[in-house]
Every structure is written in C-alpha cells, then in structure tokens.
Structure 1
C-alpha cells in the first residue's frame, strides 16, 4: 500500500511542476521570440540502502520547443526575425554571452543596440554594438548594419558592423534562469552563422500554442485530482486496517 502512496505523491508533485511550466508558457503567449518549455515525467528508482524495489515519478525538463513562431510584418528597421536554428548573441546581466530569438531591438540614448529588455547586442568581435547618430539604418540579411550618417545624403550609406548571429540546434542549448539560451555546460560556443541569417522589418512571435496549453492545464488539473484521490484512498485503507488490528 505504501508503494502506491509514494507513487501518487511523487506523481502529484511532478504534476504541480508541469502546471507551473504550462502557466509560464501561457504567460508568454505574446512574448516576441519566446519558445515554449517542454516537460515530461520519468520513472526514477529510489536510491538508498536495501533492494532497488521502489520507483518514484520525477518531473523532467525536456528543453524548449524549436517550432517557429508566427511572423508579423512591422516595417521597423530595428525589427529582425532570425531564420531556423539561428540565434542572436547578447550580453547577459553577468557579462557573459547568451542567445535569443527576440528580434525587437532598440537603440538606447548612448547609441548602443540592445534587446527590448536592455541587454547589449554583440557584434562579430563580441563587443556591444554601437550605432553612430544617423538619418537611416538598415540591417541586411547577413546581419550587416549600415547607416546614413546624420546630415549626409542617402548615397553615403556605409556599414558600421555586423550582428553576431550563431548557428545552433535548440536541443544543444539550455535555457537559463534569466530566460535566455546558453551553451550547455562544458560545450563550446556555437559557431558563427554564414549567409542569410535573418529578415529585417518583421518579428517572430511566441511559438506557444495557447489553445494547446489551456487543454494541457485542464488535463493536468484532472490528473492531480486523481493522484490526490489515490492518496486519500490509501490513507482510508490504512486507517481501516489499523482499526481491524486494534479491535483484536
């Protein structure tokens, strides 16, 4: 009987974690470049002294979805959508390199190119990308940034740098607590991507399937209810057994 209780208890715990991840996905349905978190459960033998006769349920993070998000035309020169398996390199809050598909870029008051959340975008050399004052700006398909210097004619458009865009499969990266993607521990940094890597003037939205996530939330809620019922049933059976034993 206690085996079923432990399985139901660990299953309920895993279900709660899954509900939290689904809630996180739903909260980011409208977040530019967001990729849904995948989750699952596995059977995990209980470690410890004695025979390996106990198995618990364990929640497992299965990474993030590599499905493409919807594309929206904005006409904004600073909006870019990364092509498949392409990632924009940014400087995270600790000064390290992280990767994102959120292409809604901004220029701050100091002329630094940043993400919408204020993280510096890196150039090919790994330095924060700085944009001089200009009258027009263009980001080419290979990530090259060109401008028309302030007060100059359109014919003077010149390149000021190139965005650092890398090539990596989603499964080879891990999402950090900051919501950004990072190279897996011990792995080498993703290589630079060649050729056409992005489209400017458009944005890639979240790849979260809102309807599917709502259905998953309902399924998980019912699953949790069933697991709790198993716990209550086990407790009642134990009480009944104790009553029978004490009556002798």
Structure 2
C-alpha cells in the first residue's frame, strides 16, 4: 500500500512542477525572442537505505526549444530579428556576458542601447553600446550601426558601433534563472558570427505554441487529479484495514 501512495505522491509532485513550466511558457507567448522550455517526467531511483528497486517520478527540464519564432515586420529602426543560431550579447545584472534573441531594442535618454528589459547591449569589443545623438540610424545585416549625426547633412554617415552577435546552437547553451542563455559549464564563449546575422526593422516572436501549451496544461491537470485520487483511495483502504484489524 505504501508503495502505491509513494508513487502517486511523487507523480503528483512532478505534475505540479511540469504545470509550472507550461504556465511559464504560456506567460511568455508574446515575449519577443522567447524559446519554450521542454520538460518531461522521468523515473529516478530512490537513494538511501532500502531496496534499489524503488523509483520515484521526477520532473526534468530537458532543454530549450530551438524552433524559430514568427518574424514580424515592425519598421522600427531599433528592432532586429536574428538569424537561426545567432545570439545577441548583453550584460547580465551580475555584470557577466549573456545571450538573448530578444530583438526589441530600446535607447535610453543617455544614448545607451538596451533590450526591452533594460539590459545593456554589448558591442564587438564587449562594452555597453552607446549611440551619440543622431538624425537617422540604420542597422546593417552584419550588426553595424550607421548614423547621420544630429545637425549634419544626410550624406554624412558615421559608424556608431557594431552589435556583438555570436554563433551557437541552442543545445550548446543553457538558460539561467534570469532567462538569459550562457555557455555550458566549462565551455568556451561562442565565437563571433560572420556575415549577415540579422534582419533590421523586424522582431522574432516567441516560439511558444499557445494551443499546444493549453492542451498540455489540461493533460497535466487530469494527471494530477488521477494521482490525488490514488492517494485518497490508498488512505481509505488503509483506514478500512485498520478498522478490520481493530475489530478482531
């Protein structure tokens, strides 16, 4: 009896954690450049005293989906949509270098180029990218920023910097608690990407399929209800057994 209760309890716990992952994906269905987290339930041996045949159900985050999101044309001069396996380098809150595919960039009052969440965008040299006052700005396919300085004629085009874009497959990176991607532990930083790396005036949307996530949420909810019923049935059976034993 205790075995069935234990299996149902660990299964219910794994279902709740998987439900949280699905909810996180759904919450970011409209976040630019977001990649869905892939999760699964696995059988994990129970360590400690007792037979080695004991197993528990555990939720595992397998990886991040590498499926491309839909490209949406915006016409905004600061918006960029990165090509497949290309990542924009940003400065994480802890000061380290991290990577994102969120291309809805913003410009602060001081001319600092940031992501929509306020993270400084890094240039090819690894420093936060600042843009002087300008009349027009163009981001080239290789990440070069060209401007016409304020007060200058249209023929005066100046290079204001270059975005640091690296080449790496999604499987080569890991997502941290802050939602940013970094190299695998012990791995070198991704190399700079060569050639065309982005499309300007467009943004890559989230690759989360809302319909699929909603179906997964319903399935996980039903699994959790079934596991709770097993727990309730086990508790009722245990009470009936105790009642029969005490009546003798």
Shorter-chain TM-score bucket reads: over 0.9
Once the two structures are TM-superposed, the CA of residue 22 in structure 1 deviates from its matched residue by 0.8
- Runs of 4+ residues deviating >4 angstroms: none
Partner SS, residue 155 of structure 2 = helix
Once the two structures are TM-superposed, the CA of residue 51 in structure 1 deviates from its matched residue by 2.2
1:144-191 Cα distance to aligned partner (Å, 9 max, x none):
111111111222112122110011111221111111112222221111
Show the 5 A alignment for 1:60-71: 60-71=60-71
Gaps of 5+ in 2: none
- Give the structure 2 partner of residue 41 of structure 1: 41
1:1-36 Cα distance to aligned partner (Å, 9 max, x none):
211111110010010011111111111111111111
Partner Cα distance (1:55, 1:103) in 2: 44
- Give the structure 1 partner of residue 220 of structure 2: 220
1:173 aligns with 2:173: yes
- Give the structure 2 partner of residue 112 of structure 1: 112
Show the 5 A alignment for 1:229-240: 229-240=229-240
Partner Cα distance (1:7, 1:153) in 2: 73
CA RMSD of aligned residues (A): 1.0
TM-score normalised by L of structure 2 = 0.97
Partner SS, residue 242 of structure 2 = helix
Once the two structures are TM-superposed, the CA of residue 247 in structure 1 deviates from its matched residue by 2.1
Show the 5 A alignment for 1:90-239: 90-239=90-239
- Give the structure 2 partner of residue 17 of structure 1: 17
- Give the structure 2 partner of residue 76 of structure 1: 76
Partner SS, residue 230 of structure 2 = helix
Once the two structures are TM-superposed, the CA of residue 139 in structure 1 deviates from its matched residue by 0.6
Partner SS, residue 222 of structure 2 = helix
Partner SS, residue 154 of structure 1 = coil
Partner Cα distance (1:226, 1:20) in 2: 18
Partner Cα distance (1:118, 1:58) in 2: 35
Partner Cα distance (2:163, 2:198) in 1: 10
Partner Cα distance (1:172, 1:8) in 2: 35
Partner Cα distance (1:204, 1:230) in 2: 44
Once the two structures are TM-superposed, the CA of residue 80 in structure 1 deviates from its matched residue by 0.1
TM-score normalised by L of structure 1 = 0.97
1:12-68 Cα distance to aligned partner (Å, 9 max, x none):
001001111111111111111111111111100000023202100010011211111
Partner SS, residue 203 of structure 1 = strand
Gaps of 5+ in 1: none
Partner Cα distance (1:58, 1:117) in 2: 33
